[in-house]
Structure 1
Amino acid sequence: MNTFDDREAAFEAKFAHDEETKFKAEARANKKLGLWAADLLGKSGSDAESYAMTVISADFEEAGHDDVIRKVVADLGNKSDEATIRAKRRESLAAAKEELAGDS
């Protein structure tokens, strides 16, 4: 293998790692958001965990996180507004990225 092939392989490996980390951060952020919403809905324990999993699953409906926001907005009704939910999602994503950075 020559230097060009080595560099190409390294870039591909870095891209794959970055994408995996991004996926993990998004899933972790959605779980955090789901647990926060579950608390507002009065859920705890396994019920809260189950609800958080439905929030994670909602992210597979379309690209981006608007599908997650729509689900949580609909589920919470008048318990929270969209702006607060979006802010909580951003906060959750920042915390998830920080946790993942600490794990490595």
Structure 2
Amino acid sequence: MTTFDDREAAFEAKFAHDEEIKFKAEARANKLLGLWAADLQDKFGEDAEAYALTVIRADFEEAGHDDVIRKVAADLEGIVDEAAIRAKRRECLAKAQEELMNEA
């Protein structure tokens, strides 16, 4: 292999790793958001975990996280507004990224 090939392979490996970390952080953030929303709906234990899974699944409907925000906003209508949900999602993402970095 040439130096260029080595650099290309290293770049591809780093890109794949970064995308995997990004996916894990997004999924973890959605779970944290789901657990927060479950608590606001007085769901605890297994019910909270089951609800958090529905939030995670909602993220697969379309690109980005607007599908998650829509789902949680609909579930929390009259309890919390969309701006608060978006702020909580950002907080959850930061926490998820920090947790993943500490695990590495």
The match for 2:20 is 20
| 2:73 maps to 1:73 | yes
Identity of aligned residues (%): 78
Measure, in 2, the Cα distance between the counterparts of 1:5 and 1:77: 54
Measure, in 2, the Cα distance between the counterparts of 1:90 and 1:98: 12
Measure, in 2, the Cα distance between the counterparts of 1:46 and 1:11: 42
Measure, in 2, the Cα distance between the counterparts of 1:78 and 1:52: 19
The match for 2:56 is 56
Is the helix fraction higher in 1 or 2? 1
Q: Which amino acid aligns with 2:78?
A: N
The match for 2:93 is 93
The match for 1:44 is 44
Cα deviation, residue 2, structure 1: 1.0
SS at match of 2:64: coil
SS at match of 1:78: coil
Normalized against structure 1, the TM-score is what? 0.99
Alpha-carbon RMSD across the aligned residues, in angstroms, is 0.4
In the TM superposition, what whole-angstrom CA distance separates every residue of 1:11-64 from its partner, at most 9, and x where no partner exists? 000000000000000000000000000000000000000000000000000000
In the TM superposition, what whole-angstrom CA distance separates every residue of 1:60-101 from its partner, at most 9, and x where no partner exists? 000000000000000011111000000000000000000001
Measure, in 1, the Cα distance between the counterparts of 2:79 and 2:38: 11
| Unaligned ranges ≥5, structure 1 | none
Measure, in 1, the Cα distance between the counterparts of 2:81 and 2:90: 15
List 4+ stretches of structure 1 deviating above 2 A.
Answer: none
Normalized against structure 2, the TM-score is what? 0.99
